[in-house]
Structure 1
């Protein structure tokens, strides 16, 4: 793979990749390289802007990152009506070269947690469509004590304003006098679905965190605002989901 293409797979625009190489700011295996067309081979170590990458041949045509979206930020890249967006967060962290990546699905502005960022269109379709059964897991703090029979209602599904809403699973992990902590597994992603489900049983959501999306979980980005590249075993699992379902996407 050409060095320019490799840098693009890491989120740099073509123009920025060329500029960094021509300026001598890129090294391969600790040797400065000045040609964007330089061939990068399996196992080569690339250094750029104090970041270290290894060409591991998994899927270098696309970039895969995970963000712990903080509360108060909109899951969008461009919205003049929103002061705080994923794009502005990337800018705050001097990661604006990742602005070409798209958030996979959405989280409400007042919800924090795992958001995958990628330019892999097939994977985005697979992770966001209920057709492929990829799970999203949330931890919800809700008012009051949640009854077992009410959790069963959520698993079986409810009607709300003409929409059929349901969760795949819901388990109480903490019960207190005034509130409960519930772990909720979802596949569909209707607007405000988790909040609407709990409101329907009289336990409105006070706080909501998405702790995983498929194999990508919050342990990779434990603090709000954290962002890391998805690599190694987690990336392998993501790409396996893509490989398994890719023919369905294109059929």
Structure 2
């Protein structure tokens, strides 16, 4: 497993991404190796120079967005992701190329590259970057959920539903959203998307770290899962596939 490398200057004079305007809006969260987590603010529109680092497909996708708010949010998140990945890989940001996995999960082209995951929550993005393992994150804002019980019947495992029923009603929305983000993080880490019913992922309604065995044909995958203390009204989780 590679160690985290310091940023180096590229042939085009590219310098550390943390010194860029975009990285002034990024905060690194506490996380155990082998991954790092970043919380990025998406209110400020990226500069023309930052947008110029994106691939033509990314810029084209942004240009088709109807609302300025959505366009700015997309560009800000993808600029931050590209700068962080470039710093990790020690290459110019514009040199990075993305590819899609078997179920559409994005990855960096090339052998031995780090994996990554991106999730939006209102005007923030949560980004995870990992070495030697597949990673997945999910984040959402804490909102009232008067129908949390009905949602649990549809998406939660029997054990999770029982645990939710035992909570005071005022705590059920936060517990369901924790459970939801944990399940989504598992789906993103394993790369199976919606290929597995959420009821089959016993992610739990609490914040504790746990290990799961996820049936992802043709083989099972072992996943380590935890909630992310991102602060404020943000509910988030991270999952990584345990190698071997």
Bin for the TM-score computed over the shorter chain: 0.3 to 0.5
TM-score, normalisation: structure 2? 0.35
TM-score, normalisation: structure 1? 0.34
Bigger share in helix: 2
* Greater relative contact order (CA < 8 Å, ≥ 6 in sequence): 1
